[in-house]
Chain A
Amino acid sequence: MTNVIGTPTRKFSADESRIAGRNNLTGYLVSAIAVFVAALMLAPLVLSFLSSVKTPEQASATPPSYFPTSLSLENYDHVLHFGAGLGTYVGNSLGVAALAIIFSLLLAVPAGFGLARFSIPFKEFLFVVLLMPLMIPYQALLTPLYFMFAKLGLANSLFGLAIVHTILQVPFSVYLMRNAFEAIPRELEEAAVIDGCSTFVSFRRVFLPLVFPAMVTVALFAFIASWNEFLAALIFMNKETSFTVPIMLVSVRIGHFGSVDWGALQAGILISILPCALIYIFLQKYYVSGLLGGAVK
């Protein structure tokens, strides 16, 4: 798997500027433009952060200012005590994400193993069935799922929402796990069989450690997708105590007295960005390799 963001890649060597055919001057120019674009991309986040540490009055002032005149954590305090309390919303989001990760792994790891390592009858047909969530958009399935969950007592439950989020992850996760298991050489499996391992034991002892990076990738994608998902959470979680973080933002914007509490909205936005940004910064390798492996290979 190519790692595009972090370490050097395999095929392009150090004399890349020569390959691109640029002399030094254009090289510097391209670098300068790249820095400018990066600054442009960061600007909305920086401005939002600067706004979040303004006083609530300054954050809602017209005309607006770029910089805070005095530092204040009051906006964060507002979000902390908003509605049922930030803890409830973050707890809900984390709970749904954790369940979505568990469900995705429990379904995709064995499925990937089965598809990669056995000659199953109608294998490619079954694989396409597992890719069905790509073809039938979940946006179309929300009404039947809503009534199904109401009957099963899963309305407003973290468990129910996690099921919807797992639907979104199944095709990508199965695809990734199948590739990961296929990449393991046959000889290893045969050695395990000779040593007298049953398929289940060799699955656990030989294969699982080798596909661990792919499992991390599956978990990361499940977390980010679930933490960020909006429409299903909006429809399925209609009690204030069961809101997830993105739905909390909807109520923060409406505010208590009909006018938008802009400062609190900035604080809420940054809180909702933080976990995904941290994951991306520290686990980039797994994230990007998954993106490349899942989307184009």
Chain B
Amino acid sequence: MNSRNASRWIGLIYVLPALIFVCAFVLYPFGQLVYTSLTSQSLLGGGAFVGLANYQRAFNDAAFWTALGFTARYTLFITPILMGLGLLLAFLVLPNRKIQKFARGVIFLPVVIGLGTSSFLWYWLFDEQVGLFNKVLVNLHVIVHPIVWFTSADLALWAVIISVTWKVVGFGMILFVAGMQSISSEVVEASLIDGTSYLQRTTRIFLPLILRTILLVTLISAIGSMLAFEQLYIMTAGGPRGKTLTTVYWIYQNSFINFKLGYGAALSVILTGIILCGTAVQLVLTNRRAHQ
């Protein structure tokens, strides 16, 4: 059909603005990034082609490995916490009673707050002079003396994990609740007739049937954690002694504080490689066709 043929090109015209935008502001800059990563460019000049020297340097840079290691540790700690708590909360607020719906709304509220803003809020709560977190713990007799949170890398990591958990745990919870509610009631009722216990229903029906959602939320959380920046920049400033620098933070320092552009670009390309692996899996899991 002639009109069908013509409509192929009309359709392309509708998609074209978005395609041009992505090419101009994502693909073209990424090409530049890869090129810069092969040069010795800095703000003072340079720019000679140095091949893979920047990548070699990253490989031998202890500070980069520390940052990557810290980011990985942060991700490995916070992801299971977010998934576990998110699931527990989902079971808690699953019934459609008024109280539970209200709780859902409140627990989700911090998700719409900016990560920067929430980090400032928790920076204050954890402050050893004026913060109330210590005061609450002392009043509840959990600790005797106020804790100084940001002079130890381990305590700082936990402070950051607590603050980010508060901010994002509602995200997983809402997706899990939606997943559980889309399980058809026949399945659940059939299991009730079979006389299953609550625990059996949880582990044999609810969890397996929302497995894809759990995997997806895990991936989204892990990718977000691998890109952590604000929470550390605001709460710890990378300290003590650079022990809580994340990968993005290290790239930011090299590119925008020390202006080692070539090196910063190489680090950015490595980061992109890591994130690409995660998002590739995410895209396969969200594949539209398989679930329509």
Contact = CB atoms under 8 A, between A and B. Distances in A.
Q: Do A and B come from one complex?
A: yes
Interface of A: 2, 4-6, 8-9, 11-14, 16-22, 27, 30-31, 33-35, 37-38, 41-42, 44-45, 47-48, 51, 59-64, 66, 103, 106-108, 110-111, 113-115, 117-121, 126, 128-137, 139-146, 148, 163-164, 166-167, 170, 174, 199, 224, 227-231, 234-235, 246, 249-250, 253, 262, 265-266, 268-269, 272-273, 276-277, 279-280, 284, 287-288, 291-292, 295-297
Q: Which 10 residue pairs of A and B lie closest in terms of their CB atoms, listed nearest first?
A: A118-B11, A228-B114, A114-B14, A140-B268, A144-B29, A230-B116, A111-B18, A34-B103, A114-B15, A38-B106
Given A62-B130, A143-B268, A273 B25 contact: no
A12 B30 contact: no
A129 B27 CA distance: 9
B215 to A, nearest CB: 10
Interface residues of B, number: 108
Given A249-B117, A296-B286, A141 B33 contact: yes
B37 to A, nearest CB: 10
A141 B248 contact: no
Interface stretch (B56-64, B75-83, B153-161, B270-278): B270-278
A6 B97 CA distance: 11
Contacts, number: 306
B192 A38 contact: no
7 contacts: A2-B178, A37-B107, A42-B109, A111-B14, A111-B19, A129-B22, A235-B252
B116 A228 contact: yes
Nearest to B270: A140
Contacts of B279: 134-135
B101 to A, nearest CB: 7
B275 A47 contact: no
Given A9-B96, A276-B112, A142 B12 contact: no
Contacts of B252: 142, 231, 235
Nearest to A8: B96
Interface in B75-95: 89, 92-95
Contact of A167 (B26, B103, B135, B230): B26
B17 A107 contact: yes
Contacts of A106: 17
B8 interface: yes
A139 B227 contact: yes
A145 B265 CA distance: 12
A63 to B, nearest CB: 7
Contact of A117 (B11, B123, B171, B220): B11
Contacts of A110: 14-15, 17-18
Contacts of A120: 8, 11-12, 15
Contact of A228 (B14, B19, B108, B113): B113
B7 interface: yes
A292 B175 contact: yes
Nearest to B100: A34
A170 B21 contact: yes
A133 B227 CA distance: 14
Contact of A231 (B25, B175, B229, B269): B229
